[in-house]
Amino acid sequence: MLTVIGLMSGTSLDGVDAAVIHTDGERIAGAGPDISLPYAAALRQRARRILDHAPALSPDDPELKAVELEITRHHIDAVRRLHALVPDIDLIGFHGQTILHAPDRRMTWQIGDAAVLSRATGLAVVHDFRSADVSAGGEGAPLAPWFHAALLHDVPGPVAVLNIGGVANVTFIDADHTIHACDTGPGNALLDDWAMRHTGTACDTDGRLARAGTANRAIVERLLADPYFARPAPKSLDRQHFATALDRVAACTPADGAATLAAFTIEAVRRTPLPARPVRWYVCGGGRHNPVLMQGLQAALGVPVMEVDHLGWNGDALEAQCFGFLAARSVRGLPLSAPTITGGPGGLSGGRLTCAGLMPVPAWIYASSRRRP
Ligand SMILES: Nc1ncnc2c1ncn2[C@@H]1O[C@H](COP(=O)(O)OP(=O)(O)OP(=O)(O)O)[C@@H](O)[C@H]1O
Ligand SMILES: CC(=O)N[C@H]1[C@@H]2OC[C@@H](O2)[C@@H](O)[C@@H]1O[C@H](C)C(=O)O
């Protein structure tokens, strides 16, 4: 078993989540402490501008480099705090910040400097988890299903795990424990942008705005006419894929617009084609704190919908733990790709190892059964 710090900076751009996990990339022996370090509003805005302009940006763009360094600094800070609590860390799993995701153009771009993180912490870092799959023709996402399936190994299927982050993604585990996955559609990102526009807050806290409004069903149907929803899984999304949805609700009152965007997220989940009907849905990600989304999902799905916390999981640390787990998979050469998860070839591993902080490289890395893509 390795003791790994997993790091995630999600599409909501709210900050770094960091968590310690004990794992060999197949089983999970336990979890350690976790923390979240929020980005200040100014950094969120700068990161958001980078994300909005990413398709046209050069990798050497000075503002991109400055934001990348600032984001890396937050990750270093998060690792140092956890390392002080758990001294025997073997490895870091560093997702970075996705600023662009276009698998159809064989492109996925996560910023964050793994060499700087490794040097600053003295730890080996696995990063760039999605590129190998995308290069091989896969979606490069979602990757969390590997972790969800490991956590659910003794839970009878069919069940679904729904992650409501900026984008939402589902892991479906069938009765025979085969895994199917895809991004379902928007998560919180549109609601966050709408709330910022109308209330100046980073999200529709506790669904207060949406609860006061009425969803415009005609607009929801038009939004669901996006070709993404007709595509079969596996499939994945860029955070900005549905950005024009905000124009479609522009004439609504703030409350009705929020209710309509919440209904869009819910209806996209309901219409996601799955191999069988889950008997239960377990929800993780920040969207589970929004009661309008949770109650709407319960009504739409017609089977129990509960927070993953009911399973004893830590719903707020889950993605960070996941990238610790995936780092352990990576150094062991275990698959990160699968035809029914990312659409990439079965058996393909992923992630890149950087040991800039270590001289010599720890022996266990060579002792493990690493197979590089
Ligand atoms: N009390 C709350 N009420 C409403 N929404 C909330 C609340 N708490 C968190 N959220 C939502 O959760 C979001 C953060 O979720 P999360 O941390 O899962 O996102 P992420 O890690 O960026 O996502 P991704 O899975 O896309 O990488 C916030 O942007 C907000 O929309
Ligand atoms: C490209 C990218 O960063 N995708 C994220 C995003 O956030 C949610 C959804 O879109 C999912 O596909 C993925 O993250 C999770 C952790 C995943 O890979 O499973």
Domain total for the chain? 2
Alpha-helical regions (H) of 91-143: 114-121, 131-135
Residue 346 marked ligand-binding:
no
Q: Per-residue pLDDT tens for 131-146?
A: 999 999 999 999 999 9
Burial environment of residue 37 by CB neighbours within 10 A (0 to 12, 13 to 18, 19 or more): middle
> What DSSP state is assigned to residue 226?
S
* Same domain? 125 vs 168: no
* Same domain? 64 vs 175: no
* Same domain? 109 vs 173: no
Cβ burial 193-219 (10 Å sphere, 16+ → b, else e): bbbbeeeeebbbeebbbbbebebbeeb
Q: What CATH number is given to the structural domain containing 277?
A: 3.30.420.40
* Same domain? 154 vs 287: yes
Domain limits for position 89: 2-135+348-367
Q: Per-residue pLDDT tens for 29-44?
A: 999 999 999 999 999 9
Residue 373's pLDDT band (cuts 50, 70, 90): very low
Q: Is 290 helix (H, G, I), strand (E, B) or coil?
A: coil
Residue 27: inside a domain, yes or no? yes
Q: Whose CA is nearest to atom 23 of ligand 1?
A: 165
Q: Per-residue pLDDT tens for 315-368?
A: 999 999 999 999 999 999 999 999 999 999 999 999 999 998 666 666 666 555
- Report how far residue 193's alpha carbon sits from residue 196's, in angstroms, rounded to the nearest whole number: 5
* Same domain? 189 vs 256: yes
Beta bridge partners of 184: none
39 C-alpha to ligand 2 centroid (Å): 19
Residue 207 marked ligand-binding:
no
* Token duo for residue 245: 């949805």
Ligand 1 in reach of 98 Cβ (< 6 A)? no
Residue 354: inside a domain, yes or no? yes
* Same domain? 230 vs 179: yes
Element (H, E) at 126: strand 125-127
Ligand 2 in reach of 240 Cβ (< 6 A)? no
> Given the CA of residue 202, which atom of ligand 1 is nearest to it?
29
pLDDT at 356: 85
Residue 363: inside a domain, yes or no? yes
Q: Per-residue pLDDT tens for 292-311?
A: 999 999 999 999 999 999 99
ipTM exceeding 0.90, yes/no: yes
> What is the chain's mean pLDDT, rounded?
95
Residue 320: inside a domain, yes or no? no
Beta bridge partners of 169: 163, 183
* Same domain? 122 vs 38: yes
> What DSSP state is assigned to residue 211?
H
Q: Whose CA is nearest to atom 3 of ligand 2?
A: 98
- Report how far residue 355's alpha carbon sits from residue 115's, in angstroms, rounded to the nearest whole number: 7
Inform me whether the pLDDT recorded for 237 exceeds 50.
yes
Residue 319: inside a domain, yes or no? no
Residue 125's pLDDT band (cuts 50, 70, 90): very high
